[in-house]
Amino acid sequence: MSHHGTDERSGAQGRARAGWLRAWAAALCALSGSSAGAQMPGVPVLQNAFMNPGVTVGAFYAAGKGQTAGGVAGALAPTRQWVQVTGGAGYGDARSTVYTYGGRVAVPVGRFIPGLKNSTSLGVAAFAGAGGGTRDSVTLVTAPAGLAMGYRRALGATRAISVYATPFLSWNRSRGEGLDENAAALFRVAVGADVALTERLGVAVGWEGGSTADGIRPGPRAVLWGLGVSYAFR
């Protein structure tokens, strides 16, 4: 058999492998930011460890014991994926409806951890955020800060899945006219999964639990669940 035929087969195999790798990378990138959530009262803190370059927009719904929440959000990350900024707005409904808002900044730190610097499957990110809302002249502010630890893998050429855990400390404060200011720091943990259905469309589901507020202290009082859909622009 000629060397020319062998070279042609090798070249075809190389092109096929390169195409598969590009599709695999695109599917993995579609995961990042698929939660498209921001820090808002009544919404789980679902923060993936991986960044999605460009703009991601989405909608989400959350629920807990005796409460619901929902809204829209967007995330922005530069091409080099060294930071991600997320913002959102929506509503929270316990005994009455309140409009809420929030924002969060995440920075990948896995590149500084030996063994993770060149990993495409494992990631770690640090994040901090703040959000709040006002109801009946009472304002609630919540500010979480913690770490996101994630794992991702491809599911064929254009789909992928990522799972992650997010331990964090949440500082909560409430104040209002004629009321004393109250504050509480709570340790919470969230776990979530993001699935890239296509290179642009993703869904996310997650759970948050841990310490809860009691009495008149501000903060989450139940386990929270969340579901989101997103679309990535590139």
Q: pLDDT tens across 99-116, in order?
A: 899 999 999 998 888 888
Q: What is the pTM of this model?
A: 0.82
Q: What is the mean pLDDT of the chain?
A: 82
Given a contact cutoff of 8 angstroms between Cβ atoms, the answer to whether 22 and 195 are in contact is: no
User: Phi then psi for 30, rounded to 5 degrees?
Assistant: -65, -20
Q: Give the separation between CA 79 and CA 66, rounded to whole angstroms.
A: 41
Q: What is the pLDDT of residues 77-104, one digit of tens each?
A: 998 889 999 999 998 887 778 889 999 9
User: Phi then psi for 4, rounded to 5 degrees?
Assistant: -60, -45
pLDDT given at position 28 = 55
Q: Give the separation between CA 29 and CA 140, rounded to whole angstroms.
A: 34
Domain enclosing residue 185, as ranges: 3-233
The tally of domains found in the chain comes to 1
For residue 63, give Cα distances in angstroms to 8, 78, 91, 147.
Answer: 57, 32, 12, 23
Q: What is the pLDDT of residues 141-179, one digit of tens each?
A: 999 999 999 999 988 777 889 999 999 999 998 887 666
| pLDDT, mean of residues 198-220 | 88
Neighbouring CB atoms inside 10 A of 150's CB total: 24
| pLDDT, mean of residues 126-131 | 95
User: Which of 105, 36, 47 is closest to 75 using CA atoms?
Assistant: 36
User: Which of 82, 111, 68 is closest to 227 using CA atoms?
Assistant: 68
pLDDT given at position 17 = 47
Give the three-class secondary structure for 11: helix
Give me the CATH number covering residue 55: 2.40.128
Q: Give the separation between CA 187 and CA 213, rounded to whole angstroms.
A: 11
